[in-house]
Amino acid sequence: MKLPPTTIWYHGTRTAEEAAAIATGGFHPGTYFGRHLEDALGYGGPYIFEVAFPSSWTSEDGWQMVVPTSVPPDQIVAHYTLTQEGHFENEPLRKAIFESNTQLVAHVRRPPRHWAGPPPEHGHGR
């Protein structure tokens, strides 16, 4: 399989049911993706998806992006569950950091030509 320059972005969700729906139906418009695994884990949840996007379709700005169209499940590179044992968490600081970066959310430039429309009814958007 030959691809144009492609990058992996991450999406995390909180429940096994949501993860199963994503795995079979893809993502709804308005879904957020993080540039880094820790963002998907920290702000989404332990059910992690690695998702391929053409590099030309994504922005270099920001640490996360929101997609304007559906993303089909065939763009999913991997899906796994991460567990972590917490020892300390400063939730007010986490929220302040998140809010300080909301202006850096990048909206994708344009959908790839081969993404013709929405996936089946079982997609997911956060």
Residues 35-94 have pLDDT tens digits of 999 889 888 999 999 999 988 777 666 788 889 999 999 999 999 998 867 777 888 888
Q: Give how far the C-alpha of residue 95 lies from the chain's centroid of Cα atoms, to the nearest Å.
A: 19
Residue pair 123/83 in contact by the 8 Å Cβ criterion: no
For residue 16, give every residue at least 6 positions away whose Cβ sits within 8 Å of its Cβ, in sequence order, or none.
Answer: 47, 81
Tell me how far apart the terminal alpha carbons of the chain are, to the nearest angstrom.
Answer: 31
Mean pLDDT taken over the chain? 81
Residues facing 12 on adjacent strands:
48
Confidence of residue 114 (pLDDT cuts 50, 70, 90): low
Show the domains of the chain with their CATH numbers: 6-107 (3.20.170)
SS3 content of the chain, % helix, strand, coil (to 5): 30, 25, 45
- Say what the pTM is: 0.68
